[in-house]
Amino acid sequence: MKFLVTGGAGFIGSNFVNLMSREHPEDDYLVYDALTYCGNLFSIEAALGRKNVSFLRGDISDEAAVDALFGRERFDYVVNFAAETHVDRSIKDPKAFLRSNVEGTLTLLEAARKHGLKRFHQVSTDEVYGMLPLEDKDLAFTEESPLAPSSPYSASKAAADLYVLAYHRTYGLNVTISRCSNNYGPYQFPEKLIPLVLTRALKDERIPVYGNGKNVRDWLYVEDHCRAIDLIVRKGDDGEIYNVGGHGEKENIEVVKLILETLGKPLSLIAYVKDRPGHDLRYAINPTKVSSLGFAPTHRPEEGIKKTIEWYLSHRDWLRKVEDGSYLAYVKEQYGE
């Protein structure tokens, strides 16, 4: 089978390609990625050394390039990871999210409709459902929860999902959608909470915690997400949505303290700062439907986060390569340093 993996040089996409190209030597994986500030070929070095992986630099919203690629390659499966993904950046520059996340997905869908394929899989997010209250710990998002995105990022992901479902209904395109909770693990760009705390703590820099730190995220080890996507692509039902999560809920402040304690750094590094506008209080996933395909998470956040810390400590060269000038300028603007 031939896979197109868009955004395969980013955090989750690179883990997917590294893992799947090793476990499925019979399949071919073409990574198509614009290599934006967070896309990095260093993250797929292992995969690129294999016969069944190739790379092409390009933008998913470039109609001519995408059409030519689909015409040339005849993919069986498309797994669309490519997106602008950071909520804070979407608050500063919403238009970039419309272009990559909505127009980009539409461009891929159009090429898939024209050239045909076995399945188009859209990698979406639990953030399309908006937020849950902090008080009712039993509430979790199901596939039937209404769409209620809070940020320009999640609004763009919800819009893309609706296009995917419309292409299924109107044109009969074979599609699946996964909506996953927060991922952590190797190769995550350091702007996101876990690698941000880790990298700043290593430099004894202050750790910015938004609001009171009581917001809850449902953490899943990235390889578990990748295995769920692979299951959905191969075994999921046409036109269906699958929520993905592993009951890994934690308050942000618990995650921050766990990282500082593991590194032996003082809690006095924590600085409570101005809250993120529109900050969702809590996410939690009901994974019953994806579990029926055979999905089961392999890591609890406590041990998975420690394993992730060890990975970052032994891959400081990767960190040095990705923390370039544009990232440092972003940090300065975002955190006022």
* Residues of the shown chain interacting with ligand NAD in the complex, contacts defined by CB under 6 A: 6-7, 9-13, 33-36, 38-39, 59-61, 81-85, 100, 104, 123, 125, 157, 180, 182-183, 189
Rg of the chain in Å (alpha carbons): 19
To which residue do tokens 């209404």 refer? 146
Partner whose binding site includes residue 252, from ligand DAU, ligand NAD, none (CB under 5 to 8 Å by kind) = ligand DAU
Give residues with Cβ within 8 angstroms of 249, minimum separation 6.
Answer: 216, 217, 218, 219, 282, 284
One-character DSSP codes across 153-213: HHHHHHHHHHHHHHHHHHH---EEEEEE--EESTT--TTSHHHHHHHHHHTT--EEEETTS
Measured from the CB of residue 125, what is the shortest distance to ligand DAU in angstroms?
3
* 86 part of the interface to ligand DAU, by CB under 6 A: yes
Structure token digits, residue 17: 């390609």
Q: Which of 82, 72, 143 is nearest to 108 (CA)?
A: 82
- Set 33, 110, 127, 249: catalytic member: 127
Partner whose binding site includes residue 17, from ligand NAD, ligand DAU, none (CB under 5 to 8 Å by kind) = none
Q: Which of 171, 120, 287, 162 is nearest to 220 (CA)?
A: 287
Measured from the CB of residue 88, what is the shortest distance to ligand DAU in angstroms?
6
Q: Which is nearer to ligand DAU, 100 or 252 (CB)?
A: 252
- Give me the residue whose beta carbon is nearest to ligand NAD: 10
**What number of CA atoms fall less than 13 Å from residue 13's CA on the CB side?**
35
Measured from the CB of residue 11, what is the shortest distance to ligand DAU in angstroms?
9
Partner whose binding site includes residue 105, from ligand NAD, ligand DAU, none (CB under 5 to 8 Å by kind) = none
In the stretch 142-181, what mask flags binding to ligand DAU with x, by CB under 6 A?
A: ---------------------------------------x
Residue 104 has what DSSP assignment? H
Q: Catalytic residue at 127? A: yes
Measured from the CB of residue 85, what is the shortest distance to ligand DAU in angstroms?
4
Measured from the CB of residue 103, what is the shortest distance to ligand NAD in angstroms?
8
How far, CA to CA in Å, does 289 sit from each of 64, 80, 198? 37, 21, 34
* 215 part of the interface to ligand DAU, by CB under 6 A: yes
Residues 280, 245: Cα–Cα separation, whole Å = 17
Q: Which is nearer to ligand NAD, 82 or 265 (CB)?
A: 82
Q: Catalytic residue at 323? A: no
Q: Which is nearer to ligand NAD, 10 or 208 (CB)?
A: 10
Helix, strand or coil, per DSSP, at residue 156: helix
**What number of CA atoms fall less than 13 Å from residue 271's CA on the CB side?**
12
Residues 72, 86: Cα–Cα separation, whole Å = 33
Helix, strand or coil, per DSSP, at residue 120: strand
**Which residues of the chain form contacts with ligand DAU (CB under 6 A)?**
85-87, 125-127, 181-182, 192-193, 196, 208-210, 215, 217, 252, 276, 283
Q: Which residues are catalytic?
A: 126-127, 153
